[in-house]
Structure 1
Amino acid sequence: MDHPSAILDDLEQFVVKDAPPTVYYIPDFITGIEESHLLQQVYKATKTKWTQLSNRRLQNWGGLPHPKGMLGEKLPDWLQKYCDRISALGAFGGKTANHVLVNEYNPGEGIMPHEDGPLYHPTVTTISLGSHTLLDFYRPISSQEPEDAPQTEESRYLLSLLVQPRSLLILQDDMYQRFLHGIQGTHQDSITDKVANVSAAGSIPGALLTRGTRVSLTVRCVPKVVRANVLLGRK
């Protein structure tokens, strides 16, 4: 299979070398002014744009991904700008991002370990706003382990990435396709030597970071965009 991207050479300086292939972590990808503007736009959205889940709430922009394909919707200019900027880095192999998921995490909220699945180009990119978080990675449950060997989150834990506000995180290859990622529902994060990008994220082992409200913009490319009548089973 072809590599999922044609990443520009000047991005190589942002590779996280202490993680499996492939992580790019770009601090200060956007400015503080851009961050404030994006947060204003997120919170200007109508109440009906939000979906409330048990552990967070979210907005879906660009369409609803579906196994038959996504019924595409035009992105607003304030999101299209960053889809274009990230796509220009080569993150989606020459394709342009067309889907953004906005997640709001209050302190104490997180998300269970999961994978993003086959509906997307095998790359996920995330701009973080408002607060840091610690993104944890886990090996998948293996059928080759002995039946009496417990496969807990703790035993499958691999490493973490410290994601600071205004940064861009790009995950590809094994870090996207093989390992699960999640966020612990906690109010504070202890920075250990298992944080693979601790220096690039401007922290040190032993630091204790208190979470605020974080808004993430998960920017992806859905390759298959279809007409409404296809999803409805009509010709």
Structure 2
Amino acid sequence: TTTTTTRDDTLSFAARGGFVDTDVDDEISSSSSPDVAKRVPGLAYCREFIGARDAEFVESALLREPAAWWTKGRGRRVMNAGGTSPSRLYREGDDEAIPTYLRELVEVLVRRKASERAANHVLVNEYDADGFISPHSDGDVYAPDVQILTLRSSALIEFWPAEGATAGDFDECDNIDAPRPVVSVLLEPRSLLMYRGEAYRLRHGIRARVKDVVAAETANARELGLEIGDVVERNPAGRLSVVFVRKYAERRCE
């Protein structure tokens, strides 16, 4: 289990004079993608949420965290900041383990209304270039209000109905009846993906590939100047993302 009890508080935006090139005040609605918002209620996407220099600082700080704070898995490693397991309910004081620079980002998310309440748990994922996420829903441990900050490499995230087959259940090369996602979004470096409510109840996943193909379901393709069939290569160095969530202290049943 990853341990995150001792942090270096000198790794903070405040210690370097604040955010350098990130807008920390404007509401996210003024800069989010309208094409994404139209597809599924509760889904939103903001390009360049964080400035290039600030993103570089966050990535550098994350990679300076001791190896003992990371847990290795298939094709990725994960750091749990705030609590010791994504599946465990929130316990008082868990969020005190979140590194200062990530807590400062949590404050910006709330200030810009990217999240309804401050996250009390942060997951950091570093994937191999072809790293994947099997389609899943986040379940009843988290409040239905999630933000994903992509720091390194693009990737196409797909959202699927809460139940039923996904394309991963089929051989896509041979089966023309393979199901299609409800929507997909190409996540760019420095972008922020937000999903809550109806969008939260969908399953989401990323396919195991080093190149993503723009599809009819890719909601932000036009905004990015892309067309159906365009190929976007992932960074060979792999993908780094930060997931902000709020855990419940007790399970909620809908």
CA distance in structure 2 between the aligned counterparts of 1:79 and 1:123, rounded to whole angstroms: 17
Does the 8 Å contact 2:28/2:46 carry over to 1?
Answer: no
When the two structures are aligned, how many residues end up with a matched partner? 208
CA distance in structure 2 between the aligned counterparts of 1:130 and 1:11, rounded to whole angstroms: 24
Q: 1:77 to 1:190 in 2, by over 3 A?
A: same
- TM-score normalised to structure 2 length: 0.75
Deviation sequence 1:11-37 (CA, Å, 0-9, x none): 165242441112111101111101111
Deviation sequence 1:37-65 (CA, Å, 0-9, x none): 11101110111111011131111101135
CA distance in structure 2 between the aligned counterparts of 1:56 and 1:17, rounded to whole angstroms: 30
CA-atom RMSD in angstroms = 2.2
Q: 1:73 to 1:10 in 2, by over 3 A?
A: closer
CA distance in structure 2 between the aligned counterparts of 1:175 and 1:102, rounded to whole angstroms: 21
CA distance in structure 2 between the aligned counterparts of 1:223 and 1:85, rounded to whole angstroms: 21
Determine the structure 1 residue equivalent to 2:113: 90
Deviation sequence 1:71-127 (CA, Å, 0-9, x none): 51422111111111112233443x211211000112111010011111111111011
CA distance in structure 2 between the aligned counterparts of 1:92 and 1:166, rounded to whole angstroms: 17
Higher RCO, 1 or 2 (CA under 8 Å, sep at least 6)? 1
Does 2:123 correspond to 1:101? yes
- TM-score normalised to structure 1 length: 0.80
CA distance in structure 2 between the aligned counterparts of 1:68 and 1:33, rounded to whole angstroms: 34
CA distance in structure 2 between the aligned counterparts of 1:49 and 1:41, rounded to whole angstroms: 13
Q: Find 2:193's aligned residue among 166, 169, 173.
A: 169
Does the 8 Å contact 2:156/2:206 carry over to 1?
Answer: yes
Does 2:29 correspond to 1:11? yes
1:217 is displaced (CA, Å) by 0.4
CA distance in structure 1 between the aligned counterparts of 2:115 and 2:62, rounded to whole angstroms: 24
CA distance in structure 1 between the aligned counterparts of 2:28 and 2:87, rounded to whole angstroms: 35
CA distance in structure 2 between the aligned counterparts of 1:117 and 1:49, rounded to whole angstroms: 24
1:9 is displaced (CA, Å) by 6.6
CA distance in structure 1 between the aligned counterparts of 2:128 and 2:88, rounded to whole angstroms: 31
1:66 is displaced (CA, Å) by 5.2
Query: Structure 2, unaligned stretches of length 5 or more?
Result: 1-25, 168-177
Deviation sequence 1:198-232 (CA, Å, 0-9, x none): 1234533332111111101001122429xxxxxxx
Query: Structure 1, unaligned stretches of length 5 or more?
Result: 1-7, 143-150, 226-235
Q: 1:9 to 1:130 in 2, by over 3 A?
A: closer
Q: 1:96 to 1:125 in 2, by over 3 A?
A: same
Identity score, percent = 28
Q: 1:78 to 1:201 in 2, by over 3 A?
A: farther
CA distance in structure 1 between the aligned counterparts of 2:162 and 2:95, rounded to whole angstroms: 34
The residue identity in structure 2 corresponding to 1:215 is: L
Does 2:133 correspond to 1:111? yes
Does the 8 Å contact 1:92/1:121 carry over to 2?
Answer: no
SS at match of 1:78: helix
CA distance in structure 2 between the aligned counterparts of 1:35 and 1:58, rounded to whole angstroms: 18
Determine the structure 2 residue equivalent to 1:229: none
